[in-house]
Structure 1
């Protein structure tokens, strides 16, 4: 029997056998299983299986962290052993039925933004590269000054950096329709209508260069360039409306009437009700976020740096996507990224300390790669496989995140984009901030490492780990 087949067999047995597994799917790093009775899962037995970097029950699924590449091979073996496989989308639909209303809402919110984030990451990288190229020191090395940069070049960079945010409502409406069961192209067109050039441009209105169109003397109508909530709410309602219309329209007229009625009703609602109301809500959320980030004496970084990874454990951290997008759209910069980067790096520092100090070969083989994963921006293996499992390293990581976040806040670091952190995140700080960015990350890692080495990994804990390893 191959090693991967043996691991798959052990996982199935530890999860309660094939009879307890409804279906299995996988993402980039995790094997996800829907189970009938989670009480039958032997968590400790699962975590002691070779190549398993951690396991937890969340979002209605039992999720086993195996890492990129490995998870594909183990999933194939699990299917060959008789477990029903499903696509990630089908699995997510089944999982979405579990959890409380707030968890389901946040999960849906995250599902909408996941496909959009890569293009926002690319936009942030373009902003960072433009900042690097436009630095006077960089230009001087080629015998140039900012005055030598042509307007055509500036225009080209604006195409790269502005397009995603100009048409953000179209991207969001498209993805929202997709997630909530509507026709994606109808959502796309609805989103494009929200940024139609026939409407007063939102940025021009904000800058005082244009005025909204006033309907009935009190309803302001304008474009929603860069807005998130109006497109999201319109997408949710629009997808549900389309489904209801499709059920009532004769099949012969469905192709014509369903999109016609959906778009007609939704653009009226979006421009006259949803847009004005939720744009105000969006502005209030942004104002609250800015107020927290502007707390004096580094308090914002101290607080956010400490609590961020706690929120990640709950699985509701996707809500931060809205905040980061709003910051980038409004100010062209993202101070939130620098703080959460420190929170992520600190968990890697704590896992690194455990990996270097432990005498357990299994834990060392788990902790060291997990710390590297955290330094690349993915903390799940470090948190669930090492730090949270032994509690104290996780707490030391939180303290390290607070220390680094405090420094980031004091220095006023601001990313040019979002969604990438720690080592990949350096690309968002090429506009003269790179040394400070590296410094605050080293603070976070150093504090978490030192505290974990000194206080978070005691002889008693080492003995517990070694006993766990012997019991495996």
Structure 2
């Protein structure tokens, strides 16, 4: 324990002293800190501490990578030394958000909404990948799927597909829960709002373009289309914000004794009418416009789209802006049946892992080797922050070579028209989410993302040492 205490003291000193620390919490592997002035951090001293495996700043938080298990012990000593008291992740986020500009706050809000529902979406993506393997023609047999040949497996595939599709069919319910919670309202009302937008009595959004006679309500002479918003993101996001604000407004003005009877019904009624009359139709058109914009770029300039998004996606991760594209991916999947953006995300993660793996092979520093090796595996499985912030950005050239490899891979797969039917694990297992007909092209892109960053980083590191 004395070593843990000593390391905690060294961390506090390297962070600029306890007077520079506003609040502190931790996750599974990292200390998550709100600092008054990040310019006072001595990064060299911090990363020279044995227990510290890396550090980085993101979204106003300064994070110190310690490792699973050990971080709990370090945090306990850290709190005792600084006297800051134990903070929750929300406390840290609130403290960190004070430093952000309006655009950063908007991006952070999107991240706070989508990150909690990612496990459900990724799990659904993996299960849809299994279904794709069973139902995709040409994988096991020429021009036939596995279930075409083995018909006794068809019902198993059907059950898997139902389980996988649930998160996407009721996506507005998931977003409604998370968004209303983020905006300060009652999460339960958010769930009801989201499910209301995909009620079975409404015309399914996926059938909207196929139906000539769209059912309508007649509200005192005003026709309102009875259309659901399955798979849509913008309608429930905006409606959730409106619901939360109406609920908070009413709670301040209605006596406590009447809140149970009045607040929720009035909030849902007003938001529901606004959702179907104004918010839904407008945001549905905006969502379709965003989809058409991205589709037109990649239809007409596929190589350019692959170069830009594939090459610069990792920079979006650094700024935190990558979370905004999750909404675009979901919109593309809903409107076109697949996304051409997410496959490049998976290859970008692989490229960062390959660059970190090259540093593991090229370095003689035992601490760096340990961090690079574990972070490379993590990146290959879709978690790139340890590799990017702990290794690649620290030395710069691995990060640049990873971007180059990812850009080349992005060009190859976009020209080939590779798309993902769902959002899965953004690394090597990502092929499960790719439409089976594009597996060959995706594996070529994966090979480029594996080899190019590794070779460039490894040989540059060797040449740099020889000088």
Match of 1:392 in 2: 397
1:407 pairs, out of 384, 408, 412, with 412
Deviations 1:187-230 (A, max 9, x none): 11112221222322222222226515276567545211111111
Tell me whether 255-264 or 418-427 shows the greater mean CA deviation: 418-427
Match of 1:268 in 2: 273
1:298 matched to 2:303: yes
Match of 2:375 in 1: 370
How far did residue 408 of structure 1 move? 1.9
How far did residue 73 of structure 1 move? 3.5
- CA distance, structure 2, for counterparts of residue 192 and residue 429 of structure 1: 28
CA contact (8 A) 1:301 1:406 kept: yes
Tell me whether 397-406 or 346-355 shows the greater mean CA deviation: 346-355
Tell me whether 51-60 or 310-319 shows the greater mean CA deviation: 51-60
Match of 1:349 in 2: 354
Tell me whether 52-61 or 242-251 shows the greater mean CA deviation: 52-61
1:89 matched to 2:90: yes
Match of 1:189 in 2: 192
How far did residue 390 of structure 1 move? 1.8
Q: How does 1:307-346 map to 2 (within 5 A)?
A: 307-346=312-351
Tell me whether 340-349 or 237-246 shows the greater mean CA deviation: 340-349
Q: How does 1:96-135 map to 2 (within 5 A)?
A: 96-135=97-136
Match of 2:28 in 1: 28
**TM-score, reference length from structure 2:** 0.90
CA contact (8 A) 1:214 1:220 kept: yes
- CA distance, structure 2, for counterparts of residue 424 and residue 68 of structure 1: 23
Match of 1:177 in 2: 180
1:66 matched to 2:66: yes
CA contact (8 A) 1:367 1:382 kept: yes
Match of 2:384 in 1: 379
How far did residue 70 of structure 1 move? 3.8
Flag the 1:224–1:301 CA change in 2: closer, same or farther, 3 A: same
CA contact (8 A) 2:310 2:411 kept: yes
**TM-score, reference length from structure 1:** 0.90
Q: How does 1:42-53 map to 2 (within 5 A)?
A: 42-53=42-53
- CA distance, structure 2, for counterparts of residue 351 and residue 143 of structure 1: 38
CA contact (8 A) 1:351 1:371 kept: yes
- CA distance, structure 2, for counterparts of residue 270 and residue 142 of structure 1: 42
Flag the 1:121–1:222 CA change in 2: closer, same or farther, 3 A: same
Tell me whether 85-94 or 434-443 shows the greater mean CA deviation: 434-443
How far did residue 154 of structure 1 move? 6.1
Q: How does 1:238-277 map to 2 (within 5 A)?
A: 238-277=243-282
Match of 2:208 in 1: 205
Q: May I ask how many residue pairs the two structures share in their alignment?
A: 462
CA contact (8 A) 1:124 1:161 kept: yes
Flag the 1:325–1:250 CA change in 2: closer, same or farther, 3 A: same
The answer for unaligned runs of 5 or more in structure 2 is none
Flag the 1:335–1:241 CA change in 2: closer, same or farther, 3 A: same
Tell me whether 323-332 or 171-180 shows the greater mean CA deviation: 323-332
- CA distance, structure 2, for counterparts of residue 340 and residue 61 of structure 1: 24
- CA distance, structure 2, for counterparts of residue 157 and residue 370 of structure 1: 32
